[in-house]
Amino acid sequence: MGNVETTRGGAENSNPLSNQNLPPKAHSSTLQSTMPVHSHPVTQDYKISRQVLGVGINGKVVECHNRKTGTKFALKVLRDVPKARREVELHYMASEHRHIVKIFDVYENTYNGVKCLLVVMECMEGGELFSRIQERAQSAFTEREGAEIMYDICCAVQYLHRMNIAHRDIKPENLLYSTKGSSGVLKLTDFGFAKRTDATAIRPLETPCYTPYYAAPEVLGPEKYDKSCDMWSIGVVMYILLCGFPPFYSAHGLPMSPGMKTRIRSGQYVFPSPEWDRVSEAAKDVIRGLLKTDPSERLTIDQVMAHKWITHYMKVPETPLFTPAVLNEERMQWSEMQDEMEKTLASMRVGNEDIHIKSLKESNNKLLNKRMKKEKK
């Protein structure tokens, strides 16, 4: 989907940005004192491919190769504006974590009179989280595996929150595997909406940046909000991970209908049968704590990490889940729903009411139809 922005490669190479104690080289400038930025052309060091890997929030991502080693990387191209600089700064600050996509190089170049930032990142060749699970349709995906995945995601978020960084766009499309196969590492990417938070302020973030299905109640209105909106998104991701469908959906066509806003604001969701019959109460307890409508009552990342379902994930029951079958059955519809959510999010960001959003009713989405039928019963 549209948020693929990195690729795996070059883990064995030294990171030119890793030594933060040295002053920038003469040919470099700095976005921050800790992050050197090269001013010479990126093409001196990397061979740029025309292969587009995806489009992130603020720019496209193409494949590139290190000229000396031949190692494959991903190159994100951003127009050099304050928002892009914030994205790169925050991503770089966090990129040493195992479960956050790594930045290797940053360049300031000008193309056709336009100043750009070019960010060289590891190449995430293992695909998106849910695509990986879809491929497991013929084999069991257990609750224990789901708990381990949530542990990895929460480790990354805990790292961010302890640095007073809110990601603000946590969703399955931004969770990618480094490689195919069992050795792949799950990592969080796309810091286009990330923002520093003031630890002394109460709910300091103000700009609503979100994807509808993962949006916290306070993000849907003018109220201020903070890192707790990330926790809500984690709750929605966890819900989908354990059953294959989202807890909130539109009953009237559009991805973000008034009815859907009401559901989110009032915390209206259920654990329907049969998908949730075998899921442990411990898992449901985590979700209930994350999907609290009042941010002050919502679990913090440290509380989630201390919960037995996360802390002792290797002891979670190996109960087979419906997730792969549901995701695989609705493969085409799920992809279309993701695309429609992205279009809705884009219209919300720019405030352009003229953008046409295809109705989910028009798309004949089987997954949502199934959920609505169960709701009527």
Is pLDDT above 60 for 120? Answer: yes
Q: Which of 38, 21, 112 is nearest to 75 (CA)?
A: 38
Q: Mean pLDDT over residues 272-295, rounded?
A: 93
Hey, which of 72-76, 180-184, 195-199 has the most confident mean pLDDT?
A: 72-76
Is pLDDT above 70 for 134? Answer: yes
Map residue 100 onto helix, strand or coil. strand
Domains and CATH numbers, the chain: 28-121 (3.30.200.20), 127-376 (1.10.510.10)
Q: Which two tokens stand for residue 205?
A: 């973030």
Cis ω on the peptide bond leading into residue 274 (within 30° of 0)?
A: yes
Residue 160: which pLDDT band, with cuts at 50, 70 and 90?
very high
Between CA 112 and CA 67 the distance in angstroms is 24
Burial class from Cβ neighbours inside 10 Å (0-12, 13-18, 19+) for residue 119 reads buried
Please, are residues 123 and 9 in contact by the beta-carbon 8 Å criterion?
yes
Indicate left, alpha or beta for 265 from its phi (over 0: left) and psi (-120 to 50: alpha).
Answer: alpha
DSSP code per residue over 44-57: GTEEEEEEEEEE-S
Q: Mean pLDDT over residues 303-308, rounded?
A: 98
Is 374 labelled a binding residue? no
Q: Is there a catalytic annotation at residue 169?
A: yes
Is pLDDT above 80 for 196? Answer: yes
Q: Which of 45, 105, 169, 230 is catalytic?
A: 169
Q: Going by C-beta distance under 8 Å and a sequence separation of 6 or more, which residues neighbour residue 335?
A: 1
Map residue 266 onto helix, strand or coil. helix
Q: Mean pLDDT over residues 53-62, rounded?
A: 80
The DSSP secondary-structure symbol of 261 reads: H
Check: pTM over 0.85? Answer yes or no: no
Is pLDDT above 50 for 275? Answer: yes
> Higher pLDDT residue, 31 or 251?
31
Q: Going by C-beta distance under 8 Å and a sequence separation of 6 or more, which residues neighbour residue 323?
A: 133, 141, 146, 240, 241, 242, 243, 244
End-to-end CA distance of the chain: 33
> Higher pLDDT residue, 341 or 55?
55
Average pLDDT over all residues of the chain: 76
Name the residue type at position 98. R
Burial class from Cβ neighbours inside 10 Å (0-12, 13-18, 19+) for residue 327 reads buried
Indicate left, alpha or beta for 181 from its phi (over 0: left) and psi (-120 to 50: alpha).
Answer: left
Residue 376: which pLDDT band, with cuts at 50, 70 and 90?
low
Is pLDDT above 90 for 189? Answer: yes
